[in-house]
Structure 1
């Protein structure tokens, strides 16, 4: 297991780990403390429960029916209010997503009561502050947010990253665990640009987080399988990506 991020006690430690290694694993207790500087998680129960109302992802190039999601886009200036953008498709080129890239993918929007709630907004504010400190010249960020549920069943493993080891074509990625029920595996692996392994860790507790510099690292997650095939089995995460906004974007 990677030690990058273990025992980080403050925002500076997390930022320094990400800057030094290109990624950080942040345990739930440290993430809770870091988030607490930017808001509250007062609606966490309703926030987490919203993962029970995600639409099926029907764009899977492998034909799988194990992924559910909602999607939302935001404009985040360096200072001021983070504003939700009009609903739009998610697009990745085939250079970054060989399985599902090259097409506009329309997903159901994240519900306004969730995206305007304190938990969601606290995550956005924290991520903006963190990434803006790392790239101080950035005036505005293009932010994409994804609610993902990966389901595991007998005969169909759930694949958190069905495209395999990959980059997302953004600047930074934050993966926040919301819930993990009745599953095994789901190990995150981090690789350098030559695809040599840098570290690995497993998000196990709500608020465990992975932070990745997408320009420096590939990442992937191993498939999840049910511990008890007779019971529901799933992995819920919020994925937030930040990309420097340019005149053309």
Structure 2
């Protein structure tokens, strides 16, 4: 089913500083007070029900480190300037060049629930990264349609096991553009995002702490990773919820 995009122009809801940071440095940190109005321009509403859906993810059973700390759901879309079209269920695949821990195999994760895939918050987030991709990709190499992969992640920090948001370490995803959107943090510390250039020089580090804090990454130009999360109070549930959207040429 093709979903009409009521904001068809994708003409950029962001402050110019966000685009400038991506152009100059290959990444941008976008605080929630900037990200929220940008997403609201693109149709964001009913955030509470969207965030609540992270309570219904499936255990990631493909962890080569035998970790039981990651829950997720996954979906793919075709995205152009007027539509966001769900694709048929398919596996997630990364080469071992991009994911030395879990790459090299097809991973079949639980699908994102239809109500979540069609949620206004989901579509606003997809439109947001698509607007930047269209703006920053040279016209001669800009695809008519982007392949979008969408991941709901919950990383649980257990009393005897730190949660690993990026267990593969500092990495690239093998795509063109990446959006990491904070959904919620509960009873965790650490989880610091670090960005390195292609020569592994540190370019920046920051922690996504508030709902709607975001990181945007040009996957060709920089590596990214996140430090482990640990519980503040080991007697209480502790987790870090994020939405990750990647775009690449079809």
Relative to the length of structure 1, the TM-score reads 0.92
Q: 2:29 aligns with which of 17, 22, 25?
A: 25
Q: Which runs of 5+ in 1 are unaligned?
A: 1-8
Q: CA deviation at 1:117?
A: 1.1
1:143 alignment counterpart: 148
- SS of residue matched to 1:131: helix
Q: 1:70 aligns with which of 62, 67, 73?
A: 73
Q: 2:120 aligns with which of 118, 121, 130?
A: 118
Are residue 14 (structure 1) and residue 13 (structure 2) matched? no
CA distance in 1, matches of 2:195, 2:37: 24
Relative to the length of structure 2, the TM-score reads 0.92
2:224 alignment counterpart: 219
- SS of residue matched to 2:52: helix
Query: What aligned pairs does 1:92-131 form with structure 2 within 5 A after superposition?
Result: 92-131=94-133
2:4 alignment counterpart: none
CA distance in 2, matches of 1:11, 1:156: 39
Q: Which runs of 5+ in 2 are unaligned?
A: 1-12
- SS of residue matched to 2:43: coil
2:9 alignment counterpart: none
How many pairs were matched up?
Answer: 235
CA distance in 2, matches of 1:180, 1:131: 28
Q: CA deviation at 1:193?
A: 0.3
- SS of residue matched to 2:242: strand
Q: 2:136 aligns with which of 125, 134, 137?
A: 134
Q: CA deviation at 1:75?
A: 0.4
- CA, structure 1 residues 30+230, in 2 after alignment: closer, same or farther (shift >3 Å)? same
CA distance in 2, matches of 1:46, 1:199: 33
Query: What aligned pairs does 1:1-249 form with structure 2 within 5 A after superposition?
Result: 10-40=14-44, 42-77=45-80, 79-137=81-139, 138=142, 139-245=144-250
Q: CA deviation at 1:10?
A: 4.0
Instruction: Tell me how large the CA RMSD over aligned residues is.
Output: 1.0
